[in-house]
Structure 1
Amino acid sequence: MGISGSGLTRTRWRAVAGSAARVVAQPANGHRVTTYDLGFGDGHVAERSLRYCRSFTATVEVVADLGRADVDRRTFMAATPFAAVAAVGPSRDWLLSTLDQDTPRTGPRVRLEDVTAVRNMFGEFQRMDVLQGGGSGRLILAEYMTQHVFPLLRRTYSESVRRALCEAAAEQTYLLGWMAYDNGEHGIAQRYLIQSLRLAEESGNSALGAHVLAGMADQTTLLGAPEEGRRLAQAGRAGLGKRTSPACLADLWALEARALAKLGDRSAAAHAVAQSEAAFERVRVDEEQEWAAFIDPAYLHGEHANTFRDLDRPQEAARHARTSIDHARKQGRARRGAMSQAALAASHLQRRDLEAAHAAGLRTLKLARQVRSSRCVEAVQDVRRRMEPFGSHRLVADFTERAHDLVAAA
């Protein structure tokens, strides 16, 4: 069932998911001991972290257990599956729910200065992701969250600090999910994103929640479920509103366009691209939140290039790809540059220009080697697959040989 904004406001929808990460002991030193600590929770973290819990207490315990499992790199986390339909329920819950506050607080009172410190760390880790890829620094961020951020959620605070803290924790949890996604760990990424959405709900920041849904839409479309990706993007738009974060709105329209292109809806996809461009024209950078910094011409034109590539419209794909490449080069963003060079290579191949595609493919390969990103490796592999119709041509053989080490290492 699709999700739209019509007829749904003020509707209460109660999730039926069970409680998560039950606290089984609390020693005198105040450290909570959960089933995870006692060794009983491993097999259930993957399942529990797919749920959008009504209970904030349960949410804190689930996201803390997920972070610890990620840091520990336990065997079950490595094989954590992605479930496309699991994202639909949380998106609906975020859009419709009014959630209860049910958590008794203990420990030293959290100050606004503590939240500011968390926000400062977010900026540093976001820059690391943008410039070096999701495979760089994610486990350090997971450790920081587990040791310093999630424990703050269990302490006492004023209402204003509570909202600010939940917002900061949601931002960081989203970033963990995004970095895992970029590194090809999709099951873990999905679970972080769902818990980030719940924390964003707690913060009252609708733009942040819509931003999380954009990430979920991106991942779901990439993994072969564009209809669900489209619904997630639509849910984000319905909850965002027209006057809140034009950058986020531009992103949601861009991701809906990607999904529609995969579905083969040519006119709707082109319309969504136009809506994305119109929304971005309204962006005022100084009025946007820090997490929206990456939603810029390098990113959006790169996404539009992929949309037109999938629509088999190579001229538009090449135009958007070149604009993205130019902006990414000026910013030193190798990951975005690599993916847009791959889109440019694809547009050349759609026009049967193997020589130009080979040159763009080599630039893709060079940039992909500068970052730790499975998406960049997949971009290289996509160029190689698209070259296959040219058979044993020397340029195909050359690109395949040059790409071998990168693909094999991945």
Structure 2
Amino acid sequence: MSKGELARQVHVQALRYGHRHINPNTTRVRRWLEGEQPREPVPRILADVFSERFGYRVTTFDLGLGGLPDLDRSLVYAASFGETVESVTELGRVDVDKDRRNLLAALPFIAVAGTGPSRDWLLQTLDQAPAPGPRVRLEDVTSVRNMFAKFQNMDVMRGGGAGGRELLTEYMNEHVYPLLRRTHGEDVRQALCAAAAEQTYLLGWMAYDDGEHGTAQRYLIQALRLAQESNDPALGAHVLAGMADQATLQGDPSEGRRLAQSGRLGLVNADSAACLADLWALEARALAALGDSAAAAHAVAQSEKAFERVRPDTEPEWAKFIDGAYLHGEYANAFRDLDQPDAATEHAQRSIDFARAQGRARRGAMSQAALAVSHLQRRDLEAAHAAGLRAIRLSGQVSSSRSLEAVQDVQRRMVPFGAHPLVADFNDRVRDLAAA
């Protein structure tokens, strides 16, 4: 590009993001080339201009205009679709870069970050079209959606840390995110945004299962924004379910409950009984953590009622994990947190039976852990030890920090039993699992 063309492109990109005052000339471009450091948001806009030009993500670091990418950018639910594309693309590029991935993994979960995105999604704010380029065909979108089932199954059966996330990140960076920068008919654009949202959500879920909560949160927020562009309320509600789950398990059940409620409200104009059952189950988890037993029991009942209406052949691919193994496992955890061991045992056992039939080690491990806790609540150490050992064995078959944390939760709850030989044996086995 000539200096004049680069100046023009910077101005065009700035207008897309609402920065009307940014209108450089050739003299300003020459000064940048000579080493002048432009002020934000110009470095970010320059990175986006070159990214569009080359068809892959270029960061301010690559241009010599910043030490590190702005990873907090992906916490923002952008008003501009174009900026959303750049945010999620930059996040994916850092995630796949071995030299910088550790920075991403160390990012903290921000408790209040979901408030704005869930509100904005619910209000269905309108937005700009993507940048021009070669048109995307419906066949391109179909090939992307066909890949989703393979990656989701990899996560369900092997865990988020088993290598599937790295493969999915590379696939998104090379094949999916570049499509978002190109032009589309409206029907193709919505289908493409839905496909990208599904897989961006899955990246977030895999990061969550691998214990990288700051990374997960950023992917989920960007998935929610892409879901809005797809005009698919059920998909957005599904993303909010993931955000609700994460908020509750990160110690903010009030936020988890609110996110789940936002998802349910968004389903008014959609029909996904599976998603509704999931949202009620996650609201029950949040209410149990808040100690509201009556409301939690009501939420479980509503979830079961919604699940009775599920017809698997009419549900989207992303809803296929919402089944008996998953839901009864969530109910078991809710009743465990309410110190109601009889109900927890019943649901944990049903989850275990479903998971065993499907060969789902991660869900089986977490439900065995819930069963072990319900035994501890009855002061039955021997039964708890047996269930805990089954949880350890299943956890060893997957790469999932959630299943390890479930086992470690059982370990912590055994502390009141002191130096009993079963406790000592369990501690030794948990140490071996954690080391492995």
TM-score range, shorter chain: over 0.9
Residues 97-116 of structure 1: CA distance to partner in whole angstroms, max 9, x if unpaired? 3222243311x221111111
> CA separation in 2, counterparts of 1:112 and 1:228?
38
Once residues 172 and 130 of structure 1 are traced to their aligned partners in structure 2, the CA distance between those partners, rounded to angstroms, is 14
Secondary structure class of the residue paired with 1:85 = coil
Displacement of 1:22 in angstroms is 2.3
On the 8 A contact 1:21/1:65 being kept in 2, the answer is no
> 48, 51, 55: which one pairs with 1:31?
55
Partner of 1:329: 356
Secondary structure at 1:129 match in 2 = helix
The worse-fitting range, judged by mean Cα deviation, of 209-218 and 110-119 is 110-119
Alignment check: 8 A CA contact 2:366 2:403 kept: yes
Please tell me whether the aligned partners of residues 49 and 62 of structure 1 are also in contact (alpha carbons under 8 angstroms).
yes
- The equivalent residue for 1:11 is none
Partner of residue 377, structure 1: 404
**SS of aligned partner of 1:229:** helix
Distance 1:277 1:49 in 2: 35
Q: 2:45 aligned with 1:22, yes or no?
A: yes
AA at the equivalent of 2:77: Y
- Provide the residue aligned with 1:357 in structure 2: 384
**Pairs within 5 Å for 1:128-167:** 128-136=154-162, 137-167=164-194
The whole-number CA distance in structure 2 between the counterparts of 1:242 and 1:346 is: 39
CA distance in 2, matches of 1:28, 1:247: 38
* Aligned mates of 2:295, 2:204 — CA distance in 1: 29
Conserved 8 A contact 1:45-1:66: no
Deviates more, 1:313-322 or 1:31-40: 31-40
Which secondary structure does the structure 2 equivalent of 1:250 belong to? helix
Encode CA deviations 1:289-340: one digit per residue, 9 max, x unaligned.
Answer: 0000000000000000000000100000000000000000000000000000
Unaligned runs of 5+ in 2: 1-16, 20-39
Identify the residue that residue 37 of structure 2 maps to in structure 1: none
Q: Output the CA distance in 1 between the equivalents of 2:89 and 2:249.
A: 27
Matched, 1:248 2:271: no
Give the structure 1 partner of residue 120 of structure 2: 93
| Consecutive aligned runs of 4 or more in structure 1 exceeding 4 Å deviation | 15-21, 27-30, 39-42
Q: Deviations over 1:1-39 (max 9, x none)?
A: xxxxxxxxxxxxxx9999894244449964364425425
CA distance in 1, matches of 2:64, 2:306: 49
Measure how far apart 1:79 and its partner are: 1.4
* Percent identity for Structure 1 against Structure 2: 69
Aligned-pair CA distance for 1:266: 0.8
Matched residues in 1 for 2:200 and 2:55: separation? 22
Distance 2:51 2:376 in 1: 64
Instruction: Write the mapping of 1:34-49 to structure 2, written as runs, cut at 5 A.
Output: 34-35=59-60, 37-38=62-63, 40=65, 43-49=68-74
* CA root-mean-square deviation: 2.0
Q: 1:21·1:62 contact (CA, 8 Å) conserved in 2?
A: no
Greater gyration radius = 2
Aligned partner letter, 2:227: A
1:57-206 paired onto structure 2 within 5 Å: 57-73=82-98, 74=100, 75-106=102-133, 108-136=134-162, 137-206=164-233
Q: Which residue of 1 aligns with 2:81?
A: 56
Structure 2 distance, partners of 1:29, 1:44, is 19
| Counterpart AA for 1:378 | E
- Which one scores higher on RCO, CA 8 angstroms, separation ≥ 6? 1
Whole-Å Cα distance in 1 between the matches of residues 403 and 169 of structure 2? 23
CA distance in 1 between counterparts of 2:51 and 2:397 reads 47
Map residues 237-386 of structure 1 onto 2, 5 A cutoff. 237-241=264-268, 244-386=271-413
Q: Which amino acid aligns with 2:343?
A: E
Quick check: 2:60–2:68 contact (8 Å CA) kept in 1? no
Post-superposition Cα deviations, 1:345-364, rounded to whole Å, max 9, x if no partner, equal 00000000000000000000
How far does residue 81 in structure 1 lie from its aligned partner after superposition? 1.2
Contact 1:21 1:61 in 2 (8 A): no
Distance 1:125 1:27, change over 3 A: closer
Q: Residue 42 of structure 1: CA displacement?
A: 6.0
**Preserved CA contact (<8 Å) 2:234 2:270:** no
- Name the stretch that deviates more: 242-251 or 90-99: 242-251
TM-score by length of 1: 0.92
Residue 208 (structure 1) aligned with residue 231 (structure 2): no
Structure 1, 400-409 or 270-279: larger mean CA deviation = 400-409
CA distance in 2 between counterparts of 1:172 and 1:27 reads: 21
CA distance in 2 between partners of 1:28 and 1:56 (Å): 14
Deviates more, 1:77-86 or 1:145-154: 77-86
Residue 16 to residue 353, structure 1, CA distance change in 2 (3 Å) = farther
CA distance in structure 2 between the aligned counterparts of 1:380 and 1:112, rounded to whole angstroms: 45
3-state secondary structure, aligned to 1:52? coil
| Conserved 8 A contact 1:251-1:295 | yes
